Amino acid sequence: MTVALVLLTLLVGAWLLAVIEAWLTTGRLRPVAPLLAGLSHLGRESILARKPDRLFFETAPVLLLVVAVLGAAVLPLAPDLVIADLATGALFLNAVLAYVLVSLIMAGWGPNGAYAMVGGWRFLGQLIAYSMLIVMPITATAMRAESLLNSAIVESQAGLWNIVYQPLGFVLFFIAAIALAFRSPFDLPTAPGELAGGVDAEYTGVRLAVLRLARLVMVITLSAATTVFFLGGWQGPLLPPWAWSLIKTLAVAVSMLLVGFYLPRIREADLLGWCWKLGIPLALLNILIVGLLILVVP
């Protein structure tokens, strides 16, 4: 039951996101558009590039989807609506997200094409940039909760949400999450104007449908993670807990889309430079501040 509800939430979230994305790019609000797009992908040929690494090519989209769903499995949408509230939930999420890289390298290598290949390796550089900025802000939220249990992290924000308690951590995590989901302005591995789709470039038909779905679900999962770690999770007045989770998650997801809509793609060198020279010192500072707050404020 819980599993079904979480999966349904992810699917509905992905659908809403696709509707809004199409609205932003075409200026038309068409609720059926994502369903039509999905159906047309199913009806189109799924071409296999010449001399592919078949295993990698086939596995990559599925792996990305699995990663996104696994990540969502440890995020509580309501006090009892979580597939697995692991004692090491916050850590597990980090571990799962590392496989996004694996999936993209596979998608880059698999189809045996230069654009995809460059895209896949670009994401390796991107991981080096963002990964610390995912881990360190989560660390600071776990410090406050004194637990790696995701539900405990939500409960620790009962008085004050982490977005206020540690705004710096929120900003860093939000940016890193967009980079992890490789959405614009961090869409370096797909980069339509530079790599003609990059890792996506050789996928068609059903495989492309899975890949697109996985990317949308990934955004929802990361938005749900942002909600759990920084926006007080299911907490809120009047509405039932699951509704709050849903509203906050969608709000974060939409703001991720909007950031991409209004910004040009970042330069790879700038991304690395800024993350390491600015982001990581700030993340350390965030940990320091949170540590001091925990010591000083009872």
Partner 1 sequence: MSEAATTLAGARKGRPSILRRWVGQALARNLSCLVVPGPEVALAHGLDLAAADMRIAATPRDATVLLIVGELSQKLDEATAVLYAQMPRPRAILVLGGSAPSSLPQADVSADLSQTELMEAATRLQRLLAEDAFAASPDDFDSSILQAKTEYVCPMHPEVVEDEPGSCPKCGMDLVAREAGGDSDAGEHDHDHDHEHEHHGHEHDHDHEHESEEHDHHHAHHNDHGQSHEHHHDHEHHQNHKRAHDHEQHQGDDDHEHAHCHEHEDHGHQQSTAQEQSGTEYICPMHPEIRQNEPGSCPKCGMDLEPHKPEEDEGVREGVPEHDHEHHHDHSGHDHDGHDHSDHDHDSSGFMSMVEVTKDLPRSADGLAMDWLEVPFGPCFPGLPGGLKLTLTLDGDGVTEGQATSLVAMNTSSEEVAVETFIERLAAAMPLAPVSYRLLACRAIEQAAGLEPDPAVERGRAAALERERIASHLGWLAQLGRQLSFVWLTRRAAALQLETQRADREQLVALRPALQSLIARLEHTPLLKARLKGIGALPHGSQDLRGPVARASGRTEDARQADAMYRELGFEMRAESAGDAWARLRQRHVEIMTSLDLVEVAGDPELPKLRAIDNPSGTGEATVETPRGRATLRLTQERGQVVSVELDSACSQHIGLVADLVEGQELGDALVAVGSLDLSPWEVTS
The contact set with partner 1 (CB under 8 A) reads: 24-28, 32-33, 35-37, 39-40, 42-53, 112-115, 117-118, 121-122, 184-185, 187-188, 191-197, 200-205, 208, 260-270
Closest distance of CB 245 from partner 1, Å:
28
| C-beta of 30 vs 98, nearer to partner 1 | 30
C-alpha count within 13 angstroms, C-beta hemisphere, residue 238 = 0
Q: Kindly state the smallest distance separating residue 90's Cβ from partner 1, in Å.
A: 30
Q: Minimum distance between the CB of residue 112 and partner 1, rounded to whole angstroms?
A: 5
> Chain-centre distance of CA 91, in angstroms?
16
Q: Which residue lies nearer to partner 1 by CB, 50 or 296?
A: 50
In whole angstroms, the minimum distance from the beta carbon of 30 to partner 1 comes to 9
Q: Which residue number, 23 or 99, has a Cβ lying nearer to partner 1?
A: 23
Residue nearer to partner 1 on the CB measure, 121 or 242: 121
Identity of the residue, 25 or 87, whose beta carbon is nearer to partner 1 in the bound complex:
25
Nearest-approach distance from CB 254 to partner 1, in angstroms = 14
- Residue 235 CB, shortest distance to partner 1, in Å, is 32
